Structure 1
Amino acid sequence: MALWDRIKESAQTMQTQLVSKKNDLKSGAFRDASMAMCALVAAADGSVDPSERQRVAQLIATNEVLQNFPADDLQRRFNDYVNKLTADFEFGKVSVMQEVAKAKKKPAEARAVVQIGIVIGGADGNFDKSEQAMVREACYTLDLPPAEFDL
């Protein structure tokens, strides 16, 4: 199977797993952590161009699991996190990763945050090395083994 197909299949599998847990993923900690994860994946290469920001914002707005929350609230949080990352990547990353850590107390939420990162990273069919590294780092922040997610 081609790498592209495996990435696509993995993202679809993660999305299916997320949808099955949708009713358990309604906390503010999950909301904040998942938007932080989206921003980290979008900025994984050190920058976020306007088209990438728009693409991730569209994915957030249409993701079934994230529909537990108002879309404009999610968009605002995502943009706030991206702005922190683009202003000073290393400093912003520390702050945004702390938001990811909010999901650590509930393993189901922590796993869902990682899965959202994989879904967002693989949405364009190219879950690149910098995006994988960012999701792997989030795994460590959440006390989850990256191998569980084939990272």
Structure 2
Amino acid sequence: MALWDRFKESASQMQNQLVAKKNDLKSGAFRDASMAMCALVAAADGSVDPAERRRVAQLIAGNEVLQNFPADDLRRRFEGYLDKLTADFDFGKVSVLQEIAKAKKKPAEARAVVQIGIVIGGADGDFDQTERAVVREACFALDLPPHEFDL
């Protein structure tokens, strides 16, 4: 099986795991950490072009697990985190990782945040090294071992 096929299968399995836990993923910390993770992955290379911003926003709106929350609220939070990252990526990344770290109190939520990052990162068909690196950093912020997610 080609590497890309294995990755697609893995991302699909992660999405299925998220859907199975949907009813347990309703806290504000999960919501905020998920939007911070989406912004971090979208801006992983230090910039976000309008097409990428729209693509990630569409993925957020279409994600069954995130439908626990009002779409306008998710969009506002996602855009806010993106604004921090695009204004000053290094400083913004510290702030966004602190937001992600708030989900570590509940291990199931912390794992779901990482899974969302992986699903978002791979949605365009290329979970590149910069995206993998920021998701790995988020694992450390959440006190989760990156190897658990093949990072």
TM-score, L = length of structure 2: 0.99
Q: Residues 39-98 of structure 1: CA distance to partner in whole angstroms, max 9, x if unpaired? A: 000000110000000000000000000000001100110000001000000000001111
Following superposition, the deviation at residue 6 of structure 1 comes to 1.7
Between stretches 5-14 and 82-91, larger displacement belongs to 5-14
Q: 1:13-24 counterparts in 2 under 5 A? A: 13-24=13-24
**CA displacement, residues 99-151 of structure 1 (integer Å, 9 cap, x when unaligned):** 10110100000000000000000111100000000000000000000000001
Name the amino acid aligned to 1:148: E
Q: In the alignment, what sits opposite 1:12?
A: 12
Distance 2:11 2:51 in 1: 21
Which residue number in structure 2 is paired with residue 29 of structure 1? Answer: 29
Match of 1:42 in 2: 42
Give the conservation status (yes or no) of the 8 Å contact 1:7–1:126: no
User: What is the DSSP-based 3-state SS (H/G/I as helix, E as strand, rest coil) of the residue aligned with 1:111?
Assistant: helix
Check the 8 A contact 1:26/1:68 in 2, yes or no. yes
Q: Does 1:133 align with 2:133?
A: yes
Give the C-alpha shift of residue 36 in structure 1: 0.1
- Is the CA contact (8 Å cut-off) linking 1:121 and 1:131 kept in structure 2? yes
Letter of the aligned partner of 1:110 in structure 2? A
Structure 2 unaligned blocks of 5 or more: none
Letter in 1 for 2:96: V
CA distance, structure 2, for counterparts of residue 88 and residue 74 of structure 1 = 22
Cα distance, 1:4 vs. partner?
Answer: 1.7
Aligned residue type for 2:23: N
Provide the alpha-carbon RMSD of the alignment. Answer: 0.5
Instruction: State the distance in 2 between where 1:47 and 1:7 align.
Output: 24
Taking structure 1 as the reference length, what is the TM-score of the superposition?
Answer: 0.99
SS of equivalent to 1:48: coil
Alignment of 1:102 with 2:102, yes or no, is yes
| Aligned 1:35-114 pairs, distance under 5 A | 35-114=35-114
SS in 1 for 2:118: helix
Aligned mates of 2:56, 2:11 — CA distance in 1: 14
Q: For 1:70 and 1:108, how far apart are their aligned partners in 2?
A: 21
Q: Aligned-pair distance for 1:3?
A: 1.9
Runs of 4+, deviation exceeding 6 Å = none
Match of 1:119 in 2: 119
